[in-house]
Amino acid sequence: MTRVRRIGWSGLLLAVLLSWSVWPSLFTHRDPAAGVLAERLRPPGGSHWFGTDELGRDLYTRVVYGAGLSLSAAALAVGIAVLLGALLGVVAGSAGGWTDDVVMRVVDMLLAVPNFLLSLAIITILGFGTVNVAVAVGLSATAGFTRMTRGEVLRVRQAAYVEAATVAGTGRATTLARHILPNSARPILAMSSLELGNAILAMAALSFLGFAAPPPAADWGSLVASGRDYLGVAWWMMTVPGLVIVVSVMAANRLGRRLADRGGRR
């Protein structure tokens, strides 16, 4: 119990969801694409925990296997946002001058556009598909990480140990690698966890609209979309994947807040 409290229920839940995405066969023995028509539209019960869909496929199995697409795409989106945002933020914060002005004016323009609309615009250029949607979500979130990283770099640059290293003759690149970047990482890590929840939600929304993986592949968003036509007779087809999305987003946000609080106490 002490160990669970240390990592938090949010971290434990995310670990379970990650295990779903990496080792789905450990959690279910069924084939997500195989259905039994005689068992179609069965409500949740002992033999089918989440019920079955219109083709008699086990919904729990499809949710478990859908975690692979949903979480990997969200992780790719966050990874793109962190790498590009951190790079631009470090360049802007360490270089200063006109470089900082140009980068931040571009960031201001991107932040003026809602992320979802920006993602749709990028998808229009890149095309449909899970990878393209993940890239679009990641690029739309880059501006926030750029601003966060720049602010942290500027804050750490004023610290006494950085000034001491500069006075001692340490090169700019060495000071950046040894002192500035490591001490700027915790807020960025906390923001990454928060952005993971946003990415899961954005991927689900775009998949719901039909921009991500085509059938028979199924992520959580497409499962919700396929269940909307049966909401009157099989509520679980839309409700259960939707609840999984909500719980995942809440767990990621909770973990991000815990990391941010720990960083603030330090």
Whether 261 is in a domain gets the answer yes
What is residue 177's predicted lDDT score, i.e. its pLDDT?
66
In contact, 145 and 89? CB cutoff 8 Å? yes
What is residue 169's predicted lDDT score, i.e. its pLDDT?
62
Whether 171 is in a domain gets the answer yes
Calpha distance 111→107 (Å, rounded): 6
DSSP 8-state assignment for residue 215: T
Whether 44 is in a domain gets the answer no
Distance of CA 89 to the CA centre of its chain: 20
Q: How many domains does the chain contain in total?
A: 1
Whether 28 is in a domain gets the answer no
Check which CATH number belongs to the domain holding 128 and give it. Answer: 1.10.3720.10
Per-residue buried b or exposed e for 59-71, using 16+ beta carbons within 10 Å of the residue's own CB? bbbbbbbbbbbbb
What is residue 1's predicted lDDT score, i.e. its pLDDT?
44
What's the mean pLDDT when you consider all of the chain? 84
What are 236-253's pLDDT values in tens digits? 999 999 999 999 998 888
- Domain of residue 186 covers 10-20+51-265
Query: Which distant-in-sequence residues (6+ apart) come within 8 Å of 129 by Cβ?
Result: 212, 213
Q: Among 249, 224, 196, 176, which residue's Cα sits nearest to residue 81?
A: 196
Whether 36 is in a domain gets the answer no
3 state DSSP class of 32: coil
Name the more confident of 30 and 258: 30
Whether 5 is in a domain gets the answer no
Residue type, 231: L
Calpha distance 103→84 (Å, rounded): 12
Q: What mean pLDDT is predicted for residues 68-95? A: 90
Whether 39 is in a domain gets the answer no
What are 67-81's pLDDT values in tens digits? 988 999 999 999 999
Whether 34 is in a domain gets the answer no
